[in-house]
Structure 1
Amino acid sequence: MSRDSHRAISGQAVARLLLAAGAIRVSAAQPFFLAAGWASPVYVDCRLLIGRPRWRRSVTDLAAATLARAPACEFEMVAGAETAGIPWAGFLAERLDLPLRYVRRQPLGIGRNAQVEGGPVEGCSVLLVDDLITDGSSKTAFVRGLRQAGAVVTDAFAIFHHALFPGSQQRLDDLALRLHVLAGWEDLLRLDPGEGMEKAERAVLEAFLADPVRWSGSHGGREG
């Protein structure tokens, strides 16, 4: 199976899991405010996939297969981003039999004042793992924290990528970071009507995707 075929199949599989878990929430009347400040009528809660063994095993297997197909993606350990990335990093590290670390947004300020926990990373190639990516802004702190601790970080993995908001790809490029993801909005929209979102919810999503920055600004969120 080609990498593109695997991406399409895995993306739809994750989309179905997210729907089954109730992880796709739609609210046109009361927008959600994302960590980066954007307003959105839809919210993806990948943490709900942790709840059942079958769901988390399926996502972990798809993640391992996706990374195995990624060219020049080599790493010696896995680091979870505080906080939602930590369990997924743990599942993936166990699946791949690799050392596990986790990285905070900033040093704790007490004790060792560490930003990276779980052991040393100096001189090691580390895969950064998070549950989702909005506009990439939070990844800067995680990548810099790992690199300041001596890690080599060239790749990051996320279950879901919004891939909507300006500056996302530029931030990743500035960090020299390659992103590997399982699913995005396009995978939800590819599902057959009978297994995907309700018609009214899909209409809300499509209106948002047509101009997410304008939608955000007109609903009290960031405008750019």
Structure 2
Amino acid sequence: MFQNSFPDRAEMASLVARMLWEIKAVHFSPDKPYKLASGMMSPVYIDCRKLISYPRIRSAVMDFAASTVLREAGFEQFDCVAGGETAGIPFAAFLADRLGLPMIYVRKQPKGHGRNAQIEGHMPDGARVLVIEDLTTAGGSMFKFIDAIRAAGGIVDHGMALFYYGIFPEAAERFVNGKVKLHHISTWREVLAAARQDKLFDEATLTSVAAFLDAPLKWSAEHGGVSELPTQ
């Protein structure tokens, strides 16, 4: 079990942001923005999968995740931890180990042969399931997994994202409407603050990223991307 129970929330967010910069999991590129799957143009990009390759950082992040869940949800609120295919699977294993809970994982769709299973592992009917993903942008992918678990008889009232974009009102609305409390550790705001503090970029780059975080779809439209998020 993790050693430092319930560290300060702001400190956890700041530390994770610095860890992400250290392992080059986050990138700023306003001049050559990234095109996301949604069609949105973005000056920021993150790859949380890199965390699995850095054991010391990975361990600290999972300690923070466990602390966040226990503080915000409670100590005896879950029967198992579920990871979504594919990025959420290793983090589900790490967090389940921290919390002393069974683990399952959820496919994006039924595998199409054999038992045609979408959920792998043992999930008793009525199990209270904590769903974890490495990151969530607007919540769409997490709810695909949540819906599958609910359809199979599981109960999902909480989700955990190690990293949350935190810039789309649609995301907050989706979790409220879906009756899921989203827990997270760090956001792009903390990543930008760490970049400013450590002087990682020139002021023009930091200003452009800040403009994106304040109005992401406006920034996207101005740089050749979509001006609204897809409904699904």
Does the alignment reach a TM-score above 0.5?
yes
Q: Does 1:207 align with 2:202?
A: no
Specify every segment of 5 or more residues in structure 2 that has no aligned partner in the other structure, as ranges.
Answer: none
Please show how residues 99-178 of structure 1 align to structure 2 within 5 Å: 99-178=102-181
Superposed displacement of residue 47, structure 1: 0.9
Tell me what 1:220 maps to: 224
Q: Letter of the 1:77 partner, please give it.
A: C
Superposed displacement of residue 55, structure 1: 1.1
Does the aligned pair in 2 maintain the 1:156–1:179 contact within 8 Å? yes
Tell me what 2:22 maps to: 20
Instruction: Give me the CA root mean square deviation.
Output: 2.1
Question: How far apart, in 1, do the equivalents of 2:79 and 2:199 lie?
Answer: 37
Tell me the alpha carbon deviations over residues 65-112 of structure 1, each in whole angstroms, 9 at most, x when there is no partner.
111111457111100011111111111111222101011222222222
Question: How far apart, in 2, do the equivalents of 1:76 and 1:121 lie?
Answer: 9
Tell me what 1:11 maps to: 13
Q: Letter of the 2:161 partner, please give it.
A: A
Tell me what 1:80 maps to: 83
Q: Does 1:190 align with 2:188?
A: no
Specify every segment of 5 or more residues in structure 1 that has no aligned partner in the other structure, as ranges.
Answer: none
Q: How many residues align?
A: 223
Tell me what 1:66 maps to: 68
Does the aligned pair in 1 maintain the 2:118–2:148 contact within 8 Å? yes
Distance 1:145 1:70, change over 3 A: same
What secondary structure does 1:182 align onto? strand
TM score, norm. by length of structure 2? 0.88
What percentage of residue pairs aligned between the two structures are identical? Answer: 41
Question: How far apart, in 2, do the equivalents of 1:71 and 1:92 lie?
Answer: 14
Does the aligned pair in 2 maintain the 1:189–1:196 contact within 8 Å? no
Tell me the alpha carbon deviations over residues 175-222 of structure 1, each in whole angstroms, 9 at most, x when there is no partner.
100000000122123337453632344233112113211111233332
Does the aligned pair in 2 maintain the 1:121–1:146 contact within 8 Å? no
Does the aligned pair in 2 maintain the 1:36–1:134 contact within 8 Å? no
What secondary structure does 1:167 align onto? helix
TM score, norm. by length of structure 1? 0.91
Question: How far apart, in 1, do the equivalents of 2:144 and 2:199 lie?
Answer: 35
Stretch deviating more after TM superposition (199-208 or 45-54): 199-208
Does the aligned pair in 2 maintain the 1:36–1:137 contact within 8 Å? no
Question: How far apart, in 2, do the equivalents of 1:78 and 1:62 lie?
Answer: 16
Question: How far apart, in 2, do the equivalents of 1:218 and 1:166 lie?
Answer: 20
Stretch deviating more after TM superposition (119-128 or 189-198): 189-198
Q: Letter of the 2:189 partner, please give it.
A: E
What secondary structure does 2:166 align onto? coil
